[in-house]
Chain A
């Protein structure tokens, strides 16, 4: 099975940098995904890591350490529109490619 932990809430200032951590335990790891979800809307794909290291995509970067069962999402130059829930999800090696989601980190960006 999967167990995914991430902080429930975070607050940051517009223009700043914020790091959202995610730890996981899994019986068979096959990739870690980050999604953004605004209230009442669908999850939107942000980033994907399957190998150790940093993946950069504009203002968003994601890091993975498989040996530590650890990932983080880094958001730079925060904007008010970045206020949302950020979901960490792990894909396992089962044939169905299912994603197991964490409970999400609600990020509030303030002036």
Chain B
């Protein structure tokens, strides 16, 4: 069964460093998303991406964040100058149409120290 894959599964980084979280969405999907979940809290929307551009972003997704689809398969989230409060599980998701369910990857646990 097709699945969304994310790497790495766990990343530890020092405050102020840049991190890149990687995702391979399901191959025929057109819509891509990043969500995050701080430990013990709800899943929060960060950004959606369609047709090689951001279609919507939340207030969390400030200038510190950026997304890119560098090739036909990968979808990345870059966090510049990480802060302690960026520590969370980051989930990538994809859907084939906007009106269908989103499938989530297993997540990258980011720990900023």
Contacts and interface: CB of A to CB of B under 8 A. Distances in A.
Interface residues of A, number: 25
B103 interface: yes
B42 A99 contact: no
Interface in B39-78: 41-45, 47-48, 50, 55-58
Given A95-B56, A96-B48, A98-B33, A45 B102 contact: yes
A3 to B, nearest CB: 12
A99 B10 CA distance: 24
A101 B43 CA distance: 6
Interface of B: 31, 33, 35, 41-45, 47-48, 50, 55-58, 91, 95, 98-107
Interface of A: 30-31, 33, 35, 37, 41-45, 48, 50, 87, 89, 94-104
6 contacts: A41-B106, A43-B43, A48-B100, A94-B56, A98-B45, A100-B45
Given A50-B99, A100-B45, 19 more contacts: A30-B99, A31-B99, A41-B107, A42-B106, A48-B100, A89-B43, A94-B56, A96-B55, A96-B56, A97-B48, A97-B102, A98-B33, A98-B45, A98-B48, A98-B56, A98-B58, A99-B45, A99-B102, A101-B43
